[in-house]
Amino acid sequence: MKKEGISRQGVASHMPLLWLVLLAIMYMVPFLSNTVMAADIMLKKKPPVQAEEDDSDGDEDESATREAQGGTTELQGFIEFENFTGTYPHQAFRDIVKKNEIRNNLSLRTGSENFYFVMNSNVYIHDYVHDPTVYRNGTARGSSFEINFNKLYYNAEFSFFRLRAGNQIYQWGTADVFNPTSYFNPMDMREALFKDQDELRQGVPSLSSLFFIGDDTLELVIVPLHVPALLPEKNTFWELRYEEEGYPISIAASRPMEPDIKNIAVGLQYYKNILSTDVNISAYYGPDTEPLFRPMGTIAVPNEPIAVDVRPEYHTTIKTGLALSRGWNDFVFQFEAAYSPLKTGVVDQDYSGGQIPQFPFKTRTFHALYTTAGFNYMIPMNKLFEGHEGDAVLTTEYSRPTYFSRNIMDPMLGDILIVRVEDTFLYSRLKVLVTGIVDITEKGTIIMPEVQYRFPMGLSINVSYAFIHGRERSMIGLYTDNDFIRMRVRYEYKM
């Protein structure tokens, strides 16, 4: 089975030109940090506007003071050990440990206030076995290791606009988890819904420009190369194992769309605050970040029944979106909607009763609407319990895709409701939270209680338990009765 990406022997001939430029920038960072200071001091600019992502690294006041003195280099990160241990009583002893992983996260920012280079990388050492591969966004992996650069860009900001070139994550939208108007960054679904929030989105090599129009902003993003989503892999705990009418399903790895001008992604977002409401209006043309799973035929596996060969496919789409956010007393309300007149899906077939499916399954374009609504409620625990000093938050979010066409295969994730309650104690050192995820369409449920404790000097421990139950047709249901305990030990550092 051919993996997405290229072999190590073909890396040099297939490395995108953008990455060659980025590598040159990495070696020129010390030179750039010094030479841009003169231009930076001569420019009389307004303070930078935070737009699609959070670039703050540590104490902002301290950072601003050092930058005002003429440039700085900041380096910080963390080392983390993560373990997943299954609790299903009827499994073999060798299968109890689902994951052992060491992760080193490194964040670098060097330059002046308005001209700087940013890198955020992750190095993983784990017990998964991969074929050696290099992806279009610079992610490299081999047997039992992986390294990625979800942020690797150069920033240049002037009085009325800002330019960035390199790997970027665009946090368009206002929702906490599912963002219909987040068009560019494909998801990393290799561990289903159990990836950390900062690991769910992949960086994409791109060029972005943000224009300051008074208090409003207009952002233009261009992504020249398609980067596909990462799906659960074979021979792992997360492998998608299910059957359709008695036929085992074999899902191939995602492959990117061919480099072509028609596969370039272009997006535009306009931000304005209207009556204390943050309003974001956006438009997008380019590859859909959500793959469709198209049955292409059958494959014969030795000593196993004939399986259906399902291949993830990507098609270009057109979307327009609206995202709103407004605070009211102790609430913050969010709403997002994205409408597509050009959504592509797989036409389903009824092959129950012994009917023979016709391969490959056909595809069809139709209209689709994606909506997400939710709120955050700051619970006044100090009014309910005298002396309580922590911060308690209730988060609720509902996400729903609507297809305006019949006989189309359902998306990977249907109607999803997320509810989370969290509170802090002991001067915010102890955090207790419970998260519930419900697939309303297919009746799948995840309940995850979690406890976090932060020690002095950057050490923290996190322990959680995942109860999983659902029907087989839901993504949640594929892992039913596979409850597990997750433990993470993290040490944060700063230089």
Residue extents of the structural domains in the chain: 8-494
Residue 412 pLDDT class (50, 70, 90 cuts): confident
Report, as an integer, the average pLDDT of 420-431.
94
What percent of the chain stands above pLDDT 90?
A: 63
| Most confident option among 40-54, 82-96, 213-227, 373-387 | 213-227
Mean confidence (pLDDT) of the chain: 85
- pLDDT for position 181: 97
Q: Could you tell me the sign of the dihedral formed by the alpha carbons of 403, 408, 411, 417, in that order?
A: positive
Average confidence (pLDDT) over 218-244: 91
Structure tokens at 145: 């290791």
> Hey, is 329 helix, strand or coil?
coil
Say whether pLDDT at 40 is over 50: no
Which pLDDT score is estimated for 349?
87
What percentage of the chain has pLDDT greater than the value 70?
85
Topology classification of domain 8-494: Porin (2.40.160)
Alpha carbon distance 361, 16 (integer Å): 33
Separation of alpha carbons 56 and 255, rounded Å? 34
User: Model confidence at 176, in pLDDT bands (50, 70, 90)?
Assistant: very high
More confident residue, 30 or 192: 192
Q: What is the pLDDT of residue 53?
A: 52
Mean pLDDT for 398-418 is: 93
At residue 127, the pLDDT reads: 75
pLDDT of residue 143: 83
Torsion, Cα 344 167 258 228, to 10 degrees, reads -40
Answer whether 333's CB lies under 8 Å from 375's CB.
Answer: yes
The answer on pLDDT for 59 being more than 60 is no
Q: Is the pLDDT of residue 62 over 70?
A: no
* Strand, coil or helix: 26: helix
> Which band of pLDDT confidence, cut at 50, 70 and 90, is reported for residue 46?
very low
State mean pLDDT over 466-475. Answer: 84
Q: What is the mean pLDDT of residues 79-108?
A: 92
- What's the full length of the chain, in residues? 495
Task: Indicate the SS3 state at residue 8.
Answer: helix
Q: How far apart are CA 31 and CA 104, in angstroms?
A: 27
Measured over the CA atoms of residue 150, residue 121, residue 36 and residue 28, the dihedral's sign is: negative
pLDDT, mean of residues 23-27: 44
Cis geometry, peptide bond prior to residue 228 (ω within 30 degrees of 0): no
Residue pLDDT, tens place only, 181-224: 999 999 999 898 888 888 999 999 999 999 999 999 999 999 99
pLDDT at 1: 38
Tell me, what's the pLDDT at 29? 41
- Which is higher by pLDDT, 64 or 232? 232
299 touches 280 (CB < 8 A) = no
Give the pLDDT of residue 304.
78
The lowest-confidence range among 10-24, 257-271, 343-357, 413-427 is 10-24
Please check whether residue 224 is in contact with residue 264, taking contact to mean a CB–CB distance below 8 angstroms.
yes
- Please tell me which residue, 177 or 463, carries the higher pLDDT value: 463
Give the containing element (helix H, strand E) for 65: helix 60-68
- Predicted confidence (pLDDT) at residue 307 exceeds the cutoff of 60: yes
| pLDDT greater than 80 at residue 64 | no
Three-class SS state of 114: coil
Kindly indicate the confidence band of residue 9, based on its pLDDT and cuts at 50, 70 and 90.
very low
Q: Kindly report which listed range (282-296, 338-352, 446-460, 464-478) carries the lowest average pLDDT score.
A: 464-478
pLDDT at 353: 67
Give yes or no for residue 472 having a pLDDT over 90: no
Q: What is the pLDDT of residues 347-406, one digit of tens each?
A: 998 776 667 788 999 999 999 999 999 999 999 888 778 777 788 999 999 999 999 999
CA distance 404 to 382: 48
Query: 474 pLDDT exceeds 80?
Result: no
Structure tokens given for 397: 């979010």
299 pLDDT exceeds 50? yes
